[in-house]
Amino acid sequence: MTLTILNPATEQRLAQLERAGVEETDAAVAAARAAFPAWRKVAPTDRARLLRRLATLVEDNHEELARLESRNVGKPISGARGEIGMVAQVFHYYAGAVDKHYGETIPVAGGVDMTFREPLGVVGLIVPWNFPLNISSWKLGPALACGNTVVLKPAELTPLTAMRLGDLALEAGFPEGVVNVVVGKGSVVGQRLIEHPDVAKIGFTGSTDVGQEVMRGAASTIKRVTLELGGKSANVVFADADLEKAAASAPYSVFDNAGQDCCARSRILVEQSVYDRFTELLVEATRNVKVGDPEDDATEMGPLVSAAHRETVSSFVEGTPLFQGDVPDGPGFWFPCTLVEATNDDRIAREEVFGPVAALIPFADEAEAVAIANDTPYGLSGSIWTRDGARALRVARALETGVLSVNSNSSVRVSTPFGGFKQSGFGRELGMHALQSYSEVKNVFISTEE
Ligand code: NDP
């Protein structure tokens, strides 16, 4: 069965690929399994050297990878360049982490007790279409640093950069079988990885529905799982905030990547006393978002990833929005920047739209802001805008969410933990925290008695 890969901005064909099935998935798992014993024995400094080489190869091929990602996802080239830069940084970071992730000795009676960090074996990595190579690297870096071998399954819509990375890993000198990339349907290849008895762990990013499938499927073999799922994050703007700064930043916290971002602050909560002023500023800032050809350096927002996804996003906008921007004529899966006024009970405020649509919701005071922000099944990200430092900390502690920013909408850094509360998943990616999810603690007691 063949798979046609499209450019979402032009609807033109980018590639025609062979779709892998269960047989190819089993072959990749077998290759990863065969490569594991030798890979786990590679000296830490050599494993680090290979990760550094891969980072350097990503840097050497930066523009090619950024163009490929931009064309396949329809994302602006400026954003794609930033993402590929982060991929290289992630591999550099985990190259440096290989020999800094170690066990401990624990005081006990009658001997010495020590712990080791052991690799898990073969890990299956299932990634989505919104940040294909970036999210792949967040899983590959710690998995390889810990001594695991991997089978990476990119999303069928956007597999091109992951396939290229597979070639770069071989060029960097990773032994055959350590990094395997399999392109095929989630319900076939992904499902097989979840059920396969030789896969020790699934690192998954995607929808909450499929996250539930991963948990269910993993139960039969007690697989380890890390789940990074959806979000419905709140951007909470208090009356004492720098309103100009908060309003100028807000559109990019939800319309970046055309809103196809699990961290999108798609609920903008504004204190009632400044609601009108803030709304005025926000509409103006949203009007200025540059939507158009992703290949243009100045473009800030491109199309959605597919026609089917545009249908889904459209279904969320009923009636007349507060503001809706313009999109280019002609081909491409375009959807305009859209602002709607809502209550937290409306569908637009409860479900993840995964498109450029933001809901504006007023609140009366701090207690109500916290209550509304937490009134969601999700808990991934969020922002707090205030000049009151004590309030910033109080609210940050009260919000049921994994990744927060104060007077900023930026939540992802190579060296800091990333992941969700509640139905946004569990486990942490990035930083030193990610290493815990790709290794197992082994405890060894040695008697010193004569
Ligand atoms: P999915 O969860 O369906 O896809 C994510 C990955 O899982 C893809 O590689 C997909 O493969 C794979 N997959 C799909 N079904 C299965 C299965 N039964 N077993 C194993 N793997 C599977 O997300 P979508 O891409 O369809 O997006 C739908 C919604 O999910 C979005 O609208 C958004 O709400 C949310 N989402 C959240 C993301 C996040 O970053 N947290 C990222 C992407 C989506 P394939 O697509 O190749 O079939």
Atom of ligand 1 nearest to the CA of 184: 47
User: pLDDT band for position 296 (50/70/90)?
Assistant: very high
pLDDT for the residue 1: 83
Q: 3-state DSSP call for residue 14?
A: strand
Query: Residue 253 Cα, ligand 1 centroid: separation in angstroms?
Result: 21
Cβ within 8 Å of residue 208, ≥6 positions away: 229, 230, 352, 377, 378, 423, 424, 425
Arithmetic mean of pLDDT, 78-94? 98
The verdict on the CB of residue 129 being under 6 Å from ligand 1 is yes
Arithmetic mean of pLDDT, 283-304? 98
pLDDT for the residue 152: 99
**End-to-end Cα separation, the chain, in angstroms:** 67
User: Ligand 1, atom 38: nearest CA belongs to which residue?
Assistant: 206
Distance CA 195, CA 344 (A): 38
Query: Residue 170 Cα, ligand 1 centroid: separation in angstroms?
Result: 27
The verdict on the CB of residue 205 being under 6 Å from ligand 1 is yes
Q: What is the pTM of this model?
A: 0.97
How is the chain split among helix, strand and coil, in percent rounded to 5?
45, 20, 35
Query: Residue 17 Cα, ligand 1 centroid: separation in angstroms?
Result: 20
Q: What is the pLDDT of residues 20-77, one digit of tens each?
A: 999 999 999 999 999 999 999 999 999 999 999 999 999 999 999 999 999 999 999 9
The alpha helices in 119-274, defined as continuous H runs, are: 132-145, 160-172, 191-195, 208-219, 243-255
pLDDT for the residue 99: 96
Q: 3-state DSSP call for residue 449?
A: coil
The verdict on the CB of residue 429 being under 6 Å from ligand 1 is no
**Catalytic residue list:** 228, 262
The verdict on the CB of residue 351 being under 6 Å from ligand 1 is no
pLDDT for the residue 37: 98
The verdict on the CB of residue 87 being under 6 Å from ligand 1 is no
pLDDT for the residue 391: 98
User: Ligand 1, atom 11: nearest CA belongs to which residue?
Assistant: 186
Distance CA 207, CA 215 (A): 12
pLDDT for the residue 337: 98
Cα–Cα distances (Å) from 364 to 273, 340, 372, in that order, read 8, 19, 11
Q: What is the pLDDT of residues 243-287, one digit of tens each?
A: 999 999 999 999 999 999 999 999 999 999 999 999 999 999 999
Report whether pLDDT(7) > 90. Answer: yes
Query: Residue 38 Cα, ligand 1 centroid: separation in angstroms?
Result: 33
pLDDT for the residue 341: 97
The verdict on the CB of residue 246 being under 6 Å from ligand 1 is no
Supply angle C-alpha 71, 74, 79, rounded to 5: 90
The verdict on the CB of residue 191 being under 6 Å from ligand 1 is yes
Q: Are 432 and 387 in contact (CB under 8 A)?
A: no
Cα–Cα distances (Å) from 231 to 220, 256, 258, 267, in that order, read 28, 15, 15, 10
User: With pLDDT > 90 as the criterion, what percentage of the chain qualifies?
Assistant: 99
Residues present in the chain in total: 450
The verdict on the CB of residue 125 being under 6 Å from ligand 1 is no
pLDDT for the residue 213: 96
Q: What is the mean pLDDT of the chain?
A: 98
Query: Residue 116 Cα, ligand 1 centroid: separation in angstroms?
Result: 34
Atom of ligand 1 nearest to the CA of 230: 41
User: Ligand 1, atom 13: nearest CA belongs to which residue?
Assistant: 186
The verdict on the CB of residue 213 being under 6 Å from ligand 1 is yes
Displacement of CA 233 from its chain's centroid (Å) = 14
User: Ligand 1, atom 42: nearest CA belongs to which residue?
Assistant: 206
Arithmetic mean of pLDDT, 161-170? 98
Q: 3-state DSSP call for residue 114?
A: strand
The verdict on the CB of residue 186 being under 6 Å from ligand 1 is yes
User: Ligand 1, atom 35: nearest CA belongs to which residue?
Assistant: 207
Atom of ligand 1 nearest to the CA of 229: 41
Query: Residue 201 Cα, ligand 1 centroid: separation in angstroms?
Result: 18
Arithmetic mean of pLDDT, 361-388? 98
Query: Residue 304 Cα, ligand 1 centroid: separation in angstroms?
Result: 15
